Amino acid sequence: MNQIDNLYRANSMSELTELSTKLLRKYKNNRSKTMMVMNRYKKRRDLMRKGKDIHKIYMYTPNNVNKLTNVNMVTTKKNQSMENYIRGKASFKNENTNNLGFIKKKYVAKRAFTIFGKKVKGFIPVPPSLDLEEAHAYAKYMQRSMSGVRIGRSGKSKFESEDDIKIKFTVVTADQGGAIFF
C-alpha cells in the first residue's frame, strides 16, 4: 500500500490534514501526485462528514494465492467490517462449523448472488488485521487448512449430507478483514 492510500485510513480531520500536508510537501514538484493527494483528501473529507469509510479491496484466486490484485474501492459505514458489508448484499443463513477448529462461521446465501463481478453461494469471514500483509497471510492459512475438508450441514455429523467447499476467490482489505468466497 502506498503512502497516498493512507489518506483513506485517516480517522480524524486533523490526522487527514497532517498526512496530506506531508504528502504535498513530498510531491511538490510532481503535479500528478499532487493532484492525486488533493483529490483523495477531498474524497476522504466528504466521506468523513457523512460518517463513512472507504476501503481498497484486494483479491486472489486459489490458483494464484501470492498475487494480490486490486479489485476496486468499497464505501462502508464507519468501522463496518467486510463481513457485515457482504452480509448486507444478500440474504444469508449462518451455519456453525464445528469441525474446522478456528473457523467459527460459514454464511450460505439463500440464493446465489454476484459480488465483485463473480457469482458465489456464500463466504467464510476473515477477521480484521493490522495491515494487508497480515490479512493476506491469515487468509492463505485459512484457505490451506480448508483444502480437502468437507463440512457437513448444520447440526449433522461429518459424514451425513456432506458438501465440498470449492473456493472461488478470496478478498482482503488492509484493516477490515475479508472473506473467502465459495
Query: Over the stretch 73-124, which tens digit does the pLDDT of each residue have?
Result: 888 888 888 888 888 888 887 766 655 556 777 888 888 898 988 899 989 8
Contacts of 167 (CB under 8 A, 6+ apart): 62, 143, 146, 180, 181, 182
Residue 171: how many other CB atoms lie within 10 Å? 24
Please list, residue by residue across 104-122, b when 16 or more beta carbons sit within 10 angstroms of its beta carbon and e when fewer do: eebbebeeebebeeeebbb
Q: What is the structure's pLDDT at 38?
A: 94
Sign of CA dihedral 153, 164, 128, 78: negative
Cβ(124)–Cβ(105) under 8 Å?
A: yes
The sheet carrying 178-181 orders its strands as 64-77, 52-61, 169-172, 178-181, 118-126, 105-115, 92-96
User: 155 pLDDT band (50/70/90 cuts)?
Assistant: very low
Alpha carbon of residue 30 to chain centroid:
31
Predicted pLDDT of residue 1: 45
pLDDT beyond 70 at 157: no
Work out the mean pLDDT of the chain and round it to a whole number.
Answer: 82
Task: Give the C-alpha distances (Å, rounded to integers) separating 164 from 19, 96, 149, 156, 161.
Answer: 47, 16, 7, 15, 10
Ranges of each domain in the chain? 4-50, 60-181
> Model's pTM, two decimal places?
0.75
Q: What pLDDT is stored for residue 67 in this prediction?
A: 87
Asked whether the predicted pLDDT for residue 45 surpasses 60, the reply is yes
